[in-house]
Structure 1
Amino acid sequence: MNLSIEMAKIVYNSLDEKKAEDIKVIDISEISVVADYFIIASASNSSQLQALVDNVEESLDKAGYLPKQIEGRNSGSWILLDYLDIIIHIFSKEDRLFYDLERIWRDGKEISVEELK
C-alpha cells in the first residue's frame, strides 16, 4: 500500500475520532511536488483544535511517522503539520473560510471517505 494514502487514512481517522468538522483529503500529487495529499479540517474552538493536533501527532507517531515541521502551534487558529508526503491543515472555522485552501487547490482530486477505507 502507498505510504501516503496509509498516512492519510490514519490522519482522517484521528480527526474523525475527535469530531473534526468538514474533513477534506485532497490528492495534489499530480499538480504539485510539495506533497501527495493535503488534509484540511476545522475545529469549533481552540481547545478542540489542540486536541485534534495532539491526536493526529499521537496516531502518526504510533505508526512510526514523525513530522518534519509543525507551524502555528501558538496561534490557536491554524496549525500546519508537515509530514513530507502529507500536509495537514487544522483551522478555526473563521480562518478556514478566510484562507479557502480548497479553492486554491481545486485542481487536486478530492478523495472520498470510501476511497480511504
Structure 2
Amino acid sequence: MDNNEILQVIANACDDKRAEDIVALDMQDVSLMADYFLVCHGSNERQVQAIAGAIKETMEETDIHVKRMEGFEQARWILVDLDDIVCHIFHEDERYYYNLERLWGDASRIELHIAGSR
C-alpha cells in the first residue's frame, strides 16, 4: 500500500468517527518532518479520542505500525505518527487557533475520496 492509499484509508477511518474538515497536505517539498499531514477535528474530547483510536486500530489491521501517539489524555490535539504520515486530530477550538493549513500554506492539498462522506 502506498502513502496515497494509506491517506485514503486514514481519511475514511476519521470519517467513520464523524471527523470534520479532513484535509491531507503533501509536505514533501516544504518539511523534513513527514511526507504527508492529515488534519481533522472533532467537536469534543471524546470524539477526538475516538478518531485517534480509529486511526490506530485501522492501521494495525493493515499491519502499519503507529510509531507514536501524543496528546491522547488531554484530547485537545492528538498527534499520530505513522512515520511518513503524521495525523493531527484537533479539538475544534484548537484547530482554528493553530490553523496548520495556513501555517503550512506552501503545501499542496491532496484530494481525498471519502467513502461515507456526509
1:52 aligns with 2:84: no
Which residue of the partner structure matches residue 94 of structure 1? 93
1:103 and 2:107 correspond:
no
Task: Report the Cα offset of residue 97 of structure 1.
Answer: 0.8
Structure 1 Cα separation of the partners of residues 100 and 78 of structure 2: 13
Name the counterpart of 2:35: 36
Aligned residues: 115
- Show CA shifts across 1:76-110 (max 9, x none): 21100011100000001100111111111110011
Deviations along 1:55-92, one digit per CA (max 9) or x if unpaired, are 11000110111111111111121100011100000001
Q: Percent identity?
A: 36
Q: Does the CA contact (< 8 Å) of 2:38 and 2:88 recur in 1?
A: yes
**Superposed structure 1 runs of 4+ greater than 2 Å apart:** none
TM-superposed CA distance for 1:113, in Å, is 2.1
Instruction: Tell me the residue number matched to 2:8.
Output: 9
Residue equivalent to 1:65: 64
Q: Secondary structure at the match of 2:94?
A: helix
Structure 1 residue runs without a partner (length 5+): none
Letter in structure 2 aligned against 1:69: R
The 3-state SS of whatever aligns with 2:21 is: strand
> For residue 72 of structure 1, what is the amino acid of its counterpart?
G
The two structures have a TM-score, normalised by structure 2, of 0.91
TM-score by length of 1: 0.92
More helix by share: 1
Q: Per-residue CA shift, 1:28-64, capped at 9, x if unaligned?
A: 1122221111000010111111111111100011011
- Paired with 2:105 and 2:66, the residues of 1 have a C-alpha distance of 25
Taking only aligned residues, the RMSD between alpha carbons, in angstroms, comes to 1.5
